[in-house]
């Protein structure tokens, strides 16, 4: 809530310098974006009530796939090599974060060495 509040205040500083009254269609689209965005955040909060954030994290990475596909389908735009490299870094860092505990855990001793 605080992030949206502070972001709204900071973004409003530029309003007097470039504001144009939206048409009825534009206002309806902005309203719909707010409703659907708010509902999306509500669903994220509900999802964390039922599952751990670590198990939900892979769904966030699917945004890379969907945004790339929609950008290409709607605008005919495909990410350049720098963007693809950045996406790969984000995915690799996420996978490393998920497996960090397992990578740092010392190897378990075999049952034979425990008996001795």
pLDDT in tens, the chain (116 residues): 788 889 889 988 988 888 899 999 999 999 999 999 999 989 988 998 998 887 787 788 888 889 999 999 999 999 999 999 998 998 888 778 777 766 666 666 655 555 55
Q: Is residue 110 part of a domain?
A: no
Coil, helix or strand at residue 37: helix
Compute φ and ψ for 106, nearest 5 degrees.
-65, 150
| Distance from C-alpha of 91 to C-alpha of 61, rounded to nearest angstrom | 7
One domain for residues 66 and 46: no
Domain hosting 33: range is: 1-50
Q: Is residue 30 part of a domain?
A: yes
One domain for residues 39 and 62: no
Q: Look at residue 1 in the predicted model and tell me its pLDDT.
A: 76
Q: Is residue 70 part of a domain?
A: yes
One domain for residues 17 and 61: no
One domain for residues 43 and 70: no
Q: Is residue 38 part of a domain?
A: yes
| Distance from C-alpha of 17 to C-alpha of 2, rounded to nearest angstrom | 25
Whether 64 contacts 37, CB under 8 Å? no
Q: Look at residue 94 in the predicted model and tell me its pLDDT.
A: 79
Q: Look at residue 111 in the predicted model and tell me its pLDDT.
A: 55
Domain count, the chain: 2
One domain for residues 62 and 92: yes
Q: Which residues contact 71 (CB under 8 A, 6 or more apart)?
A: 77, 78, 79
pTM of the model: 0.56
């Amino acid at each position: 809530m605080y992030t949206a509040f502070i972001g709204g205040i900071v973004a409003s500083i530029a309003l007097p310098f470039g504001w144009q009254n939206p048409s009825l269609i534009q206002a309806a689209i902005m309203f719909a974006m707010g409703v659907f965005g708010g509902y999306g955040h509500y669903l994220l909060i509900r999802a964390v009530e039922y599952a751990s954030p670590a198990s939900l994290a892979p769904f966030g990475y699917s945004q890379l796939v969907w945004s790339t596909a929609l950008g290409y389908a709607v605008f005919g735009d495909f990410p350049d090599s720098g963007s693809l490299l950045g996406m790969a870094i984000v995915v690799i860092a996420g996978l490393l974060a998920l497996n960090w505990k397992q990578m740092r855990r010392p190897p378990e001793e075999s049952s034979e060495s425990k008996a001795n």
